[in-house]
């Protein structure tokens, strides 16, 4: 008795643990999928790279401090001596020094560089901000990919349910016709006709099931979750507010909020900064330099001695590229053409955004009407199938009419399921095109 109670308890525990239905929401997929997305992590690293470059460029304003050290072994040469006729022996002025030690600490501070440093710093800042907006664009694209794969899996799961229901119904119809055949109320041809219809339904079910299995793996990849066959997906609640706005309002929102346009605006500013960098070649550059020497021997001391002595200097350095065979003007011209190309790119992007918003708005309205028609068609198909089934049982309808009615009913269910799924996806697509972040 004790073992029987333990066995029953074990069975109940197993049913509780393993019989729980796996439920996954769209929010869970987005929350888990975006942080582990390899593409996003790669783009994020590129953003960090540009941030580090920006910080590197900002150091150009500051003085540059360098320490140099050297040792040289010089060849042996005679001492420097002066011979005078009145003196019996030459006078040694400077003895030969074979070893030379140099320590130099130098500071260089740019004073004027033709606005080059400030322009380079601004260009790096704008490039970094453009990269940040570019990362947001890719985040939204990857979020939409997760939403698309989620709704596609939901659609296929509903199609599997509808197909299985239709198969079950058709199996009962086949059994009914077989009974009619035994009683002489139906022919073998009627049975075969419905069995062929049943086989077609099973083949269609296998095709949908194959798509369903792949959709599970695809959503698992995008969401970073390990999903199993039969996972239950909850239909997400979509904000319908975007569908209530006019096309002009949506276009205005898109132009104001789309990260692609913000990115290209920063790119334009960066290109303008590059023009300033190119024009800096027309101006002189002025630097303030100072050096501290600790040398053995120190050339500032005379006569030179084999000992360490310190000295220093301060200088103002001017560099001006007077003639460079048109290299600077060519750089300026190239930067201007690059700016013009970027401006045309912005205009093209703006027009494409307008068309994208209009197309998505029309698609939402179209699918909204398709749902209404699909619901009417489904109601008509259900009623038609019911009437044909009753007539068939009363021998007032043929097996062909029965098979056709069941086929139309399944087609109506598929149309409604597909229309609803596509409608939800179109709302997300319209929101994305209007500049709404989906995550």
The residues, any chain, with a CB within 8 Å of residue 326's CB and separated by 6 or more, are none
154 Ramachandran zone, left/alpha/beta (phi>0; psi -120 to 50): alpha
What pLDDT is attached to residue 11? 45
Gyration radius (Cα) of the chain, Å = 41
Q: Which two tokens stand for residue 266?
A: 């920063």
Q: Are residues 368 and 424 in the same domain?
A: yes
Structural domain contains residue 420: yes
In sequence order, which residues have a C-beta less than 8 Å from that of residue 436 and are 6 or more positions away? 242, 253, 257
**CA distances in angstroms from 39 to 52, 222, 347, 352, 385, listed in the order given:** 20, 11, 28, 25, 50
Whole-number pLDDT of residue 19: 44
Assess whether 136 and 48 both reside in one domain: yes
Is residue 198 within 8 A of residue 171, CB to CB? The reply is yes
**Alpha helices (runs of H) in 183-246, residue ranges in sequence order:** 188-223
Contact predicate 208/157, CB 8 Å: no
Number of domains into which the chain is organized: 2
Residue 10 included in any domain: no
pLDDT, tens digit (0-9, with 9 covering 90-100), for 348-399: 999 999 999 999 999 999 999 999 999 999 999 999 999 998 888 888 888 8
Whether residue 2 is contained in a domain is answered as no
**Does residue 16 sit within a domain?**
no
pLDDT along the chain (439 residues), means of 10: 44 41 88 94 95 92 94 84 74 80 95 94 96 96 96 95 92 88 85 90 94 95 91 85 89 94 96 95 95 92 87 95 92 95 96 96 95 95 92 84 89 94 95 93
| Shared-domain flag, residues 273 and 302 | no
pLDDT digits (tens, 9 = 90+) for 319-341: 999 998 999 999 999 999 999 99
**Residues 270 and 339 both lie in one domain:** yes
The Cα 376–Cα 378 span in angstroms is 5
**Nearest CA among 219, 216, 237 for reference residue 228:** 216
Residues 252 and 354 in one domain: yes
**Are 302 and 370 within one domain?**
no
pLDDT at 277: 94
The DSSP code sequence of 298-346 is -TTSSS--SS-EEEEEEEEEEE-----TTHHHHHHHHHHHHHHHHHHHH
Give exposure, 312-350, as e/b (b: 16+ Cβ within 10 Å): eeeeeeeeeeeeeeeebeebbeebeebbeebeeebeeeb
Q: Which helix (H) or strand (E) holds 75?
A: none
Q: Are residues 213 and 306 in the same domain?
A: no
Residue 271 domain-assigned? Answer: yes
Within 8 A by CB and 6+ apart from 87, the residues are none
pLDDT value for 5: 46
pLDDT for 398-416, tens place per residue? Answer: 888 888 998 899 999 999 9
Give me the pLDDT at residue 256, please: 94
pLDDT on residue 20: 52
Pairing, β 91-94 against β 80-82: antiparallel
DSSP SS3 for 388: helix
Q: Is residue 128 within 8 Å of residue 51, measured between CB atoms?
A: yes
Residue 383 lies in a domain: yes
**Which tokens in the block code for residue 83?**
């011979």
Residue 412 lies in a domain: yes
Same domain? 273 vs 368: yes
Contact 28, 149 (CB under 8 A): no
- Pair 226, 213 in one domain: yes
This prediction has a pTM of 0.83
Could you tell me the residue range of the domain that residue 222 belongs to?
23-61+114-282+324-433
In a domain, 15, yes or no: no
Tally of CB atoms within 10 A around 224: 16
């Amino acid at each position: 008795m004790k073992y029987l109670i333990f066995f029953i308890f074990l069975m109940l525990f197993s049913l509780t643990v393993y019989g729980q239905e796996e439920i996954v929401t769209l929010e869970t997929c987005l929350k888990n999928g975006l942080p582990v997305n390899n593409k996003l992590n790669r783009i994020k690293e590129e953003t960090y790279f540009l941030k580090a470059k920006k910080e590197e460029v900002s150091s150009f304003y500051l003085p540059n401090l360098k320490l140099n050290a050297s040792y040289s072994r010089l060849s042996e040469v005679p001492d420097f001596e002066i011979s005078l006729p009145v003196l019996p022996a030459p006078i040694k002025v400077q003895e030969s020094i074979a070893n030379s030690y140099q320590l130099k600490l130098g500071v260089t501070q740019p004073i004027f560089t033709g606005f080059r440093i400030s322009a380079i710093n601004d260009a790096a800042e704008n490039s970094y901000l453009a990269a940040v907006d570019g990362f947001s664009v890719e985040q939204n694209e990857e979020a939409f990919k997760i939403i698309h794969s989620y709704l596609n899996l939901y659609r296929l799961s509903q199609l599997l349910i509808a197909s299985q229901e239709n198969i079950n119904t058709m199996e009962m119809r086949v059994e009914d016709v077989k009974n009619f055949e035994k009683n002489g109320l139906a022919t073998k041809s009627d049975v075969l006709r419905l069995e062929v219809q049943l086989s077609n339904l099973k083949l269609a079910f296998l095709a949908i099931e194959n798509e369903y299995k792949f959709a599970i793996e695809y959503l698992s990849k995008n969401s970073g979750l390990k999903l199993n066959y039969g996972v239950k997906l909850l239909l997400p609640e979509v904000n319908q507010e975007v569908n209530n706005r006019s096309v002009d309002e949506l276009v205005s929102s898109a132009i104001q909020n789309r990260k692609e346009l913000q990115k290209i605006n920063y790119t334009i500013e960066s290109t303008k900064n590059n023009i300033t960098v190119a024009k800096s070649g027309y101006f002189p550059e002025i630097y303030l330099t100072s050096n501290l020497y600790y040398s053995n021997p120190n050339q500032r001391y005379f006569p030179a001695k084999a000992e360490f002595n310190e000295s220093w200097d301060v200088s103002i350095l001017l560099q001006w590229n007077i003639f460079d065979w048109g290299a600077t003007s060519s750089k300026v011209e190239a930067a201007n053409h690059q700016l013009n190309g970027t401006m045309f790119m912005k205009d093209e992007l703006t027009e494409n955004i307008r068309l994208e918003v209009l197309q998505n708005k029309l698609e939402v309205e179209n699918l909204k009407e398709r749902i209404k028609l699909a619901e009417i068609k489904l109601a008509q198909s259900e009623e038609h199938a019911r009437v044909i089934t009753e007539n068939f049982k009363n021998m007032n309808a043929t097996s062909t009419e029965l098979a056709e009615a069941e086929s139309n009913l399944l087609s109506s269910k598929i149309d409604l399921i597909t229309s609803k799924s596509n409608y939800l996806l179109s709302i997300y697509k319209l929101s994305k095109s209007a500049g709404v972040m989906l995550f």
